[in-house]
Structure 1
Amino acid sequence: MKSTEQFLSVHPVLAVKDVLASIGFYVHNLGFTLAFADDAKDPKYAGIRRGNVEIHLQWHDASEWEHTVDRPMLRFLVSNTADLFEEYKNKGMFHAQTSLKETAWGTKEFAFYDLDKNGLTFYEDV
């Protein structure tokens, strides 16, 4: 039997300590826009969007943050890593050792962490 469903998109949900602060980080520093929030003043769940990418941010209590090594790493396929690298560098988004690198697996990429140590890698195929 042939399946008729098609996967059209995925919206990863990142656990965050402060949804409002995370919205600010992604909107003001990374160029995302607010897609929705469950509450304007004290959101516990929100979505942010840039281009065709949408990420959801979900509040988690501090007691759930004991293990920092199991934070997710998101990989964003972008069309021009050099321009995006410069945009984020000019906003002071990463430390001096962060660099735009060509990898052995055929990509050009850079990476850093958000406020809650979720890993963000931006890459393009070369």
Structure 2
Amino acid sequence: MSEIVGSAWKIIPQFQSRSIKATVKFYNEELSFITGGLHPDDDAPTFCSIFIGKKAAANIYFHKCSPEEFHPSKAMISLGTKELDEFHDHLRSRAKVEFAQPIKDEAWGYRQFTIKDIDGNELTFFKFLEGGNPGAD
């Protein structure tokens, strides 16, 4: 059994979106994510995949929902040692990025900050304070 569960290599959170087109625009233009796909691929998509990292390591699926059904979600994304602060500074220069929590070192051993997307979904970007960080670093 340990070999079976040991074969896991990725997790993909699923968020809700009030507008897939607006979500893609925000994640591409403000956060520098890449669009992995839209469905249907027309003027009224109801699904998208966005990602960053090697082999789409940080990937989020968004499903369109009505404003009445919407519930915000949260996810954490780890970045390389120096890249976390560089990404934070980049996002600080973007007028449309709302910070829910400032960058700081936490007692549990992370340096992190949290942003909200246009729907109120939260992404916390972090790195380990000790032990090294995989990634571009």
The answer to whether the superposition gives a TM-score over 0.5 is yes
Equivalence for 2:67: 62
Equivalence for 2:84: 81
Q: 2:110 & 2:68 partners in 1: Cα distance?
A: 38
Structure 1 residue runs of 4 or more that deviate by more than 2 Å after TM superposition: 1-5
Equivalence for 2:73: 72
Equivalence for 2:98: 94
SS for the counterpart of 2:107 is coil
Contact between 2:16 and 2:73, CA under 8 Å: does it hold in 1? no
Candidates 40, 43, 60, aligned match of 2:42? 40
Equivalence for 2:30: 29
Q: What root-mean-square deviation, in Å, do the aligned CA atoms of Structure 1 and Structure 2 show?
A: 1.8
Q: 1:40 & 1:75 partners in 2: Cα distance?
A: 30
Counterpart of 2:90 in structure 1: which amino acid?
E
**What percentage of residue pairs aligned between the two structures are identical?**
20
Give the gaps of 5 or more residues in structure 2.
130-137
Residue 2 of structure 1, CA deviation: 5.3
Residue 4 of structure 1, CA deviation: 2.9
Residue 121 of structure 1, CA deviation: 0.5
Counterpart of 2:51 in structure 1: which amino acid?
R
Equivalence for 1:8: 9
Give TM-score scaled by structure 2 length. 0.80
SS for the counterpart of 1:4 is helix
Residues matched between the structures, number = 121
Give the gaps of 5 or more residues in structure 1.
none
Q: 2:11 & 2:2 partners in 1: Cα distance?
A: 22
Counterpart of 1:24 in structure 2: which amino acid?
K
SS for the counterpart of 1:62 is coil
Counterpart of 2:48 in structure 1: which amino acid?
A
Counterpart of 1:82 in structure 2: which amino acid?
D
